[in-house]
Amino acid sequence: MRSALLIGSICIVLIMLFLMTFRLGTLFTGVSDQESATINSIGQPMDILENPISLPHKAVLLVLDQTDLLTATSARFVSIGFAVAAIVLFYVFVRAKFSARITLFGSLVFCCNSVFLAIARNAGFASSTLFAACAILLALQMYSNPKGFAGKGWMCGVLIALGLFSPGAGLILLAAAAWYLRRTVQTAKVWPLLSLIPVFALPVISLAVLTYGFYKDTNTIYAWLGIPNSL
């Protein structure tokens, strides 16, 4: 049974990768306005610090830009990478609560739809927003259970710190923290101090970078909260 489930999972992963990458650079002629805006937003490192929204995504694109590898197709591959990471985080998040079979089907519902594929294949920042939501949810779930591997605190801190740069991530974190406030306080008393430090220190660093961006351009606050320019 386990071998059949493993083989089935591998086949599903291969099918998903095929759907995400099939004729990625030739299926549509030209580049959409959103993709052009994404590629043109990559300037110098200081430009990204002054507008740190979707910073992890921009950082990868900046590396490609500095090595003259940034094209519409390569930018789409970066988006696919964040989408695949979101699927993995979602799978781990659900697996902690349900059986392998339910988790597998739940992950299929999450990623096997036209909206997800459109987001994954587009060079915009939406795929990293999916990644951020899954990262924050998984980090909070891991935080609520202090037992586990030695680097669990670092992993929680990194996931939250990376997720905080995406639009709406701050509201997700605040809502989840308020919902689990009592449990969060109780769990903090159980965590070893050295493991608990990165859980809070790394997100604080991200918030400091975001605050600098808010200082340079106050409109960045609205983008970070996920408020559109035109309702």
Q: What per-residue confidence (pLDDT) applies to 141?
A: 86
Indicate if the pLDDT at residue 158 is higher than 80: yes
Mean pLDDT to the nearest integer, 126-140: 91
Radius of gyration, alpha carbons of the chain = 19
Indicate if the pLDDT at residue 131 is higher than 90: yes
CA distance readout (Å), 53 to 39, 100, 215 = 14, 35, 13
The residue ranking higher by pLDDT, 208 or 179, is: 208
User: 9-23, 100-114, 126-140 — which one is most confidently predicted on average?
Assistant: 126-140
Indicate if the pLDDT at residue 212 is higher than 70: yes
How far is residue 71's CA from residue 54's CA, in Å, rounded to a whole number? 18
Per-residue pLDDT tens over the stretch 3-14 = 766 776 777 778
Q: What per-residue confidence (pLDDT) applies to 81?
A: 93
Nearest to 166 by CA among 127, 137, 198: 127
Which pLDDT band holds residue 152 (cuts at 50, 70, 90)?
confident
Indicate if the pLDDT at residue 27 is higher than 80: no
Mean pLDDT to the nearest integer, 89-107: 87
Mean pLDDT to the nearest integer, 63-76: 89
Indicate if the pLDDT at residue 79 is higher than 90: yes
Give, rounded to a whole angstrom, the gap between the first and last alpha carbons of the chain: 51
The residue ranking higher by pLDDT, 164 or 168, is: 164
In total, the chain counts a number of residues equal to 231
The residue ranking higher by pLDDT, 48 or 149, is: 48
User: And the tokens for 2?
Assistant: 């386990």
Which pLDDT band holds residue 230 (cuts at 50, 70, 90)?
low
Q: What per-residue confidence (pLDDT) applies to 155?
A: 92
Phi-psi region of 23 (alpha: psi -120 to 50; beta: other; left: phi over 0): left
Indicate if the pLDDT at residue 231 is higher than 70: no
Q: CB-based contacts of 73: which residues, under 8 Å, 6+ apart?
A: 24, 25
Q: What per-residue confidence (pLDDT) applies to 62?
A: 92
In a 3-state reduction of DSSP, which class is residue 34? helix
> What average pLDDT does the structure give for the chain?
85
DSSP letter, residue 151: T
